[in-house]
A and B are shown apart, each in its own frame.
Chain A
């Protein structure tokens, strides 16, 4: 076998700690007690004697039998007048657009009987080309949040719109100064009404009205740097699909930086080793980000060392700069390789920088200019119109407010400054000095709970909106449901307050009419209805020639002993959806931790400083106190390989609702048996808010700072999915190679078929491929009807987590909460295994030393590991081990190759889960839709939240197994539509929720028996292999060898066709 790189899922596995060894044999780490299983609180509270228990048991058997006889009368209420495009029982899809001030995507919304239940990317229209992120998909749940405000509030009391309008209108009229503080508004209509307001209030030259845009995470340095380099305050358009070399300087462009929905799709296109060229990706960063985990070369640098890296690259490419080109040893190799690669790809290169330091951005511009990349990978004409917040303007405004010189009327749209400003508390206190404060927030959040009037805006799925995210792009968001509450579009509110419209009530057309008028002027000649149907249209751009000029660089990040880096996680981002239980339970792509915020440090540093680097169900992590700017937070310290030594990573977006604000049920820490953990009588927030840790350099907010860290007393239990579902040392699960080996060598070198020995006719041992070995008669799945298969390309999977959330949304997967995840009882049907690799080990772990191989020696290499993301779901094995052990035949095989799960037949022995080599079966330990432990977190427990459930998928009850069904409801629907239209099922017509939502097209599904299908070709590919093929379960899922575009001389030596070795062995 040519695979020698050792993969391990966590430090526990690497070190083989006693806890790890103890638990690795168990599928379910903790057995459940009887009290817990009965889940009857009253039973647990009373002192129930054994005889009483038996009486209860007898009674409940009788009662259950009686209850089973009852067929309750169900009501059916047909429409009075059925809408033309709604057929009960059939989904209706709407093309729309998602924008929340942070993420942007063209989306398709699936509605059933008028309620939205699923969001996916729109592959046909819009520049995001189907790209979404977990937050976009999960936003559908936010619509049904029962703690959303149901109408306007004045002084915390519910009131009517007419009252609010009267008071606010008169306040605006009489005020000397009116300020609108909003997030970046890319809506042409909103911008039009704001300019109308400005004209009306300011007259010719007044300054009564001011509009300030403020982004929670600022990108103002890019605009400022471009102002200096090109004389225009713009963010250029980026095209990763044209970049043969991508150098990212601390920019997590696949997860959080600027427009990850667009970039991930573009990036995915260049990661195919079978196409003409494959991009080479270099990442220089402090924490191990999602982008960094996909890089071919990765350098670990502190924020203060980023300037050195840029300077090193500039000088390496023949440029000159006054900045010193010192780089740490941990980035030297990557930087040297980057220079080589950049020289080769020339203008087909792209340098992106994620820092909000103007100096670094100027250096980045210089580098891009040096490479001549403007015009190919960077587009100065079709600019990105997001993130227009200007730090200087915001800082000045905040200073004015805090010092009591604020406006008389303050309108706040789409912002939560009390939470997200570095000095949010002071700003919050100062709000009371402002005569009239108005918020459009949907919840009584940190800011809205301090204002006088809350005029809740519609949820994004309830109202009309228009967006201009790029200079050449006009998009429309259309409502997919009638507003659930007495909310009003912010556009309408502003129009009313400006005296341009009357309130239209629940079915108001005010915003629609205004938007249609805007559309007519902005996109002359285009049809509004047609554009709405497609969700977007192209605009003409006027190109003005921008000339690059060198700008001076100053105020670069200063070096410190310990530097704290603030980043954004895939699920929580900047904290907009902190109340979304799906996102809270989404394991972080890298750390696999759910429901928590933590400090990340390199395990090497942690060991030196005396922190525990292992943790499990019983043992928590050490706590530490980080002090920055005189503010401190105490959080657990999580060991993250790949993090730069001397840096501390903490995610933004946590600590929402720190004062018990009503931001949503799932936003707080819950207790072991339900209810909230409380602190001073208020529910305790999840994690801590670290917006206060930012540094201000020359008026710019930057997301790093010098920090002090001290170990605090106590341990903290953390819920990670990492130490569960081990691979048990079977390294045939992940296969990896380099582009060089892949293109030059035979398949046997990098993807050898698994062989077993058997006796041939001459009585000699002979190595034969796995497919010749069969314990049972094969299921008749080949060549007859369909056979549904899937391939997962490990080269293109970026580990973003979209598939996981899409699966959760499509299949009614319950949310189980931190305590249950900690016990290893998460219910996700699809998980993304993240394996760290270690080059050290490859050096040591040659095949001849396999027996003496030491896990301990590989530890040091973990400092900067390579990462593989591997989505893992039910493999629908044709020889499924789960099927043979089920005593009641609840899980059986279909002739389409599906491993079927009949919930109503399952009696919960869990034999199947124990027998599954992929560990993908999930057991319903509780009645998640009703047990009080999950009341706060499970959306299915409240009347509104329940509306998000997919009516085509059963909600499972306690005591039954469940697992990935290959979205069998979609298979059936696809087949049915083909049958009804008397045609064959088209290739690519069927898509599972995961493949549907994958931004990089890493997951392909289809009918394997269709010999011309993409899936068939993909599975016959040289790179295709089956995980744990040697077990002989004959799965219907194929993985494709991860190809890294790197030079790896070691691997080059190891991955060779082993003919000689085989002959030797065969001759024994």
Chain B
């Protein structure tokens, strides 16, 4: 899976949508938007509205459950915790056999929110049908992504065309009237539509000028906003070979992040744990009879661990796990985890969010989510963009001269030797020496 060209086209769709939405007034469909947002953040990893993927398609799933004889409200229970639903409802139990891959639990979703998701999902088919003139159904394999925005844009285009027709028609009527009422029909007759428009624009030049200015500025602003979103990977959560639940490990079992990502204090990369680290615990925890047994089996396969013979043994036939990288920096950026974790004392959750609550594999947490976490420095720029790094470097203070780190004590000593004007300049405004003041905004700190 990758953020493909299709998605980038989708972003272009977004840009064009912005342009259109500025041209016309914006009306928001609040409920639908909520459903869409929820679907995208919670469901889209596994589900698609019109197509089976990791999970089954969700189009008209409520009707399907009702027709299948599911208990009333069972579907909501399923979403909150599918295991309890499967235990109480035979239909749900049947659904749980749809795939090996277990669905995540969403205990915090309310019934109305779930309904909003389903409402939005159900609206997808209609939108597609409208777009295709109601004749050709959407091909099962084709992506649905740009549909929702495209369909809205399509409405506006139709409306725009109607408006233009009306304006032209009115203009035509007015022309006819002018011709009829004119004293000198010849001179009027010679004016084409173009000339007439220009004459009209000239007469109302103030309004036309202002309107054009507003239009141009809005287009440029929206265009730049769109361009600034390019390659912003907030919310990126690629599929992974093993459905690793961070919340169970770091949350329920309270394993320290650094136990698995153990090079985080030594190296520039935090390190994806090697399989032997997994095996430290999973030699014992084989998940037998549990829904995650299949996932643990994948670890055994990778480690070459043969469970069939007694207490198990290593066969020596290993198979490395190929993960999809989540936090990918461009090649020209140097980032060092140990610098931030050991020297800077930055907590993992500042950048990665609260993984103790993350049901699933890692994801590039949107900055809004990061800001919700207590103790985090609040930032505004999207996660993993340079602006985001820079912002934090400008805000985070460096503990100087407290006797805890001889390196910074030396830096402090040198600052103090230097008639203190620089030190005072650093303290000015925020009363602290920030990373940026010690050179954290300089190019060659990250680019070489």
Residues of A in contact with B (beta carbons under 8 Å apart): 66, 68-82, 87-90, 780, 782-785, 890, 892, 894-896, 898, 900-905, 952-955, 965, 968-969, 972, 975-976, 978-980, 982-985, 1009
B332 touches A80 (CB 8 A): no
Q: Which of B23-31, B77-85, B388-396, B406-414 contacts A (4 or more CB under 8 A)?
A: B406-414
Q: Are B445 and A976 in contact (CB under 8 A)?
A: no
Q: Is the CB of A73 within 8 A of B334?
A: no
Name the one of B276, B302, B445 contacting A972, with C-beta atoms under 8 angstroms. Answer: B445
| CA distance in complex: A74, B276 (Å) | 23
Cα distance A1014–B328 in the bound complex, in angstroms: 41
Closest to B233 in A: A71
B323, B331, B411, B439: the one within 8 Å of A75 (CB): B323
- Picked from B7, B414, B448, the residue with its CB within 8 Å of the CB of A783 is B414
Which chain B residue has the least Cβ–Cβ distance from A79?
B274
Q: Mark B1-39, 1 if CB is under 8 A from A, else 0.
A: 111110111010000000000000000000000000000
Listed stretches B57-65, B137-145, B337-345; interface member: B337-345
- In contact, A904 and B325 (Cβ under 8 angstroms): no
Shortest Cβ distance from A965 into B: residue: B448
Residue of B230, B302, B324, B448 with most chain A CB atoms under a 10 A cut-off: B448
B443 interfacial by beta-carbon distance below 8 Å: yes
**Could you tell me if B2 and A73 are in contact, using CB atoms closer than 8 angstroms?**
yes
Q: Which residues of A contact B231 (CB under 8 A)?
A: 68-69, 71
Q: A71-B233, A785-B439, A980-B342 are in contact. List 5 more A-B contacts (CB 8 A).
A: A80-B320, A785-B411, A898-B444, A968-B448, A979-B405
Contact with A along B227-243 (1 / 0, CB 8 A): 00011010010100000
B418 contacts partner chain A, Cβ-Cβ < 8 Å: yes
Q: Please determine whether B406 and A88 come into contact, CB atoms closer than 8 angstroms.
A: no
Closest to A73 in B: B2
Interface residues on B, range: 35 or more
Chain A residues positioned under 8 Å from B328 (CB to CB): 71, 74
Determine the distance from Cα of A896 to Cα of B11 in the docked complex, in whole angstroms: 41
With the chains together, A982 CA to B406 CA distance in Å?
5
Residues of A within 8 A of B415 (CB): 784
The answer on a CB contact under 8 Å between A783 and B417 is: yes
* Chain B residues close to A by CB (< 8 Å): 1-5, 7-9, 11, 230-231, 233, 236, 238, 263, 266-269, 271-277, 302-304, 318-325, 328, 330-332, 334, 336, 338-339, 342-343, 404-408, 410-411, 414-415, 417-418, 422, 438-439, 442-445, 447-448
The distance in angstroms between the C-alpha atoms of A70 and B230, with both chains bound, is 8
A422–B9 Cα distance when bound, in Å, is 68
Complex Cα distance, B277 from A79, in Å, reads 10
A-B contact pairs, 6 of them (CB 8 A): A69-B8, A79-B274, A87-B266, A90-B263, A784-B411, A980-B342
CA distance A72 to B233 in the complex (A): 11
B439 touches A80 (CB 8 A): no
Contact call A894/B422, Cβ cutoff below 8 A: no
Q: A78-B271, A81-B318 are in contact. Are A88 and B8 (CB under 8 A)?
A: no
Shortest distance between the CB of A273 and any CB in chain B (Å): 33
Contact between B448 and A785, CB atoms less than 8 A apart: no
A982: which B residues are within 8 A, CB to CB? Answer: 404-407
Instruction: Please name all residues of chain B whose beta carbon is closer than 8 Å to the beta carbon of A975 when the two chains form the complex.
Output: 407
B274 to nearest A CB, angstroms? 4
Q: Which residues of B contact A979 (CB under 8 A)?
A: 339, 342-343, 405, 407-408
Asked if B418 and A783 make an inter-chain contact with CB atoms under 8 angstroms apart, the answer reads yes
Complex alpha-carbon distance, A784 and B420, angstroms: 10
Name the 5 nearest CB pairs between A and B, nearest first.
A69-B8, A89-B267, A900-B444, A73-B2, A902-B443
* Minimum Cβ distance to chain A for residue B199 (Å): 35
- Give the Cβ gap from B71 to chain A, nearest Cβ, in Å: 41
Please tell me if the beta carbons of A976 and B343 are within 8 angstroms of each other in the complex: yes
Contacts of A952 in B (CB 8 A): 334, 448
Contact of B324 among A70, A76, A892 (CB under 8 A): A76
Q: Is the CB of A968 within 8 A of B318?
A: no
Q: Are A70 and B5 in contact (CB under 8 A)?
A: yes
Chain B minimum-CB-distance residue to A889: B443
Q: Is the CB of B320 within 8 A of A69?
A: no
Nearest B residue to A811, CB-CB: B448
Q: How far is the CB of A38 from chain B (nearest CB, A)?
A: 23
A266 nearest CB across to chain B (Å)? 36
Expressed in whole angstroms, the Cα–Cα distance for A82 and B406 within the complex equals 33
Q: How far is the CA of A890 from the CA of B447 in the complex (A)?
A: 11
A79-B320, A89-B267, A784-B418 are contacts. A70–B8 as well, Cβ < 8 Å?
yes
Using known A-B contacts A965-B444, A979-B343, A980-B343, determine if residue A784 contacts B325 with beta carbons closer than 8 Å.
no
What is the minimal beta-carbon distance from B380 to any residue of chain A, in angstroms?
22
CB contact between B303 and one of A80, A895, A954 (< 8 Å): that residue: A80
Question: Do residues B439 and A894 form an inter-chain contact, with CB atoms below 8 A?
Answer: yes
The one of A894, A901, A955 that contacts B331, using a Cβ cutoff of 8 Å: A955
Given the known inter-chain contacts A80-B302, A80-B303, A784-B415, please indicate yes or no for A90 contacting B266, CB distance below 8 A. yes
Please name all residues of chain B whose beta carbon is closer than 8 Å to the beta carbon of A904 when the two chains form the complex. 330, 332, 447
CA distance A965 to B445 in the complex (A): 12
Bound-state Cα–Cα, A952 to B333, Å: 9
From A73, A784, A892, B1 is in contact (CB under 8 Å) with A73
A79–B269 Cα gap in the complex (Å)? 14
Contact A66 B269 (CB under 8 A): no
CA distance A937 to B267 in the complex (A): 34
Most buried by B among A89, A952, A955, A1009: A89
Residues A76 and B325 in contact in the complex (CB < 8 Å), given A783-B417, A905-B443: yes
Contact of B267 among A69, A80, A87, A984 (CB under 8 A): A87
- A78 neighbours in B (Cβ, 8 Å): 271-275, 320-321, 323
Q: What's the Cα separation between A892 and B304 when bound, in Å?
A: 52
Task: Please measure, in the bound complex, the distance between the C-alpha atom of A982 and the C-alpha atom of B4, giving whole angstroms.
Answer: 45
* B276: nearest chain-A partner, CB-CB: A81
Residues of chain B contacted by A74 (CB below 8 angstroms): 324-325, 328
Once the chains are docked, how many angstroms separate the CA of A106 from the CA of B384? 44
Contact A87-B263, Cβ < 8 Å, known A784-B415, A954-B447 = yes
Return the chain B residue nearest A903 by Cβ: B332
CB contacts (< 8 Å) of B304 on chain A: these are 80
**Inside 8 A of A890's CB, which chain B residues have their CB?**
443
B323, A69: Cβ atoms under 8 Å?
A: no
B439 near A68 (CB under 8 angstroms)? no
Q: How far is the CB of A114 from chain B (nearest CB, A)?
A: 14
Q: Evaluate contact between A976 and B338: CB separation under 8 angstroms.
A: yes
CA distance A780 to B425 in the complex (A): 12
In the bound complex, residues from chain B placing their C-beta under 8 Å from that of A968 are 444, 448
Contact for A77 among B238, B303, B321, CB less than 8 A: B321
Select the residue from B231, B275, B442 with max chain A CB neighbours within 10 A.
Answer: B442
- Are A69 and B11 interface neighbours, CB within 8 A? yes
Q: Are B418 and A972 in contact (CB under 8 A)?
A: no
Query: B residues within 8 A CB of A896?
Result: 439
Expressed in whole angstroms, the minimum distance between the Cβ of A1005 and any Cβ of chain B is 16
A783-B417, A895-B442, A979-B339 known; A88-B1 Cβ under 8 A: no
A69-B11, A784-B415, A965-B444 given as contacts; is B272 within 8 A of A75 (CB)? no
Residues of B within 8 A of A782 (CB): 418
Chain A residue contacts of B272, Cβ below 8 A: 76, 78
- Residue of A with least CB distance to B425: A780
CB contact under 8 A between A983 and B407, given known A87-B266, A976-B338:
yes
- A985 / chain B contacts, CB cutoff of 8 Å: 407
Using CB atoms, name the residue of chain B closest to A66. Answer: B8
- A785 / chain B contacts, CB cutoff of 8 Å: 411, 414, 438-439
Residue of A nearest to B426 (CB): A784
Tell me the complex Cα distance, A782–B422, Å. Answer: 11
In the complex, which of the residues B2, B3, B406, B407 has the most CB atoms of chain A within 10 Å of its own CB atom? B407
Evaluate whether A784 and B406 lie within 8 angstroms (CB atoms) in the complex, with A74-B324, A78-B321, A900-B443 already known: no
The answer to whether A82 and B274 have CB atoms under 8 Å apart is yes
Asked whether, in the complex, the Cβ of B269 is within 8 Å of the Cβ of A953, the reply is: no
Q: Is the CB of B2 within 8 A of A72?
A: yes
Q: Nearest CB to that of B303 among chain A residues?
A: A80
A59 smallest CB distance to B (angstroms): 15
CA distance A79 to B330 in the complex (A): 23
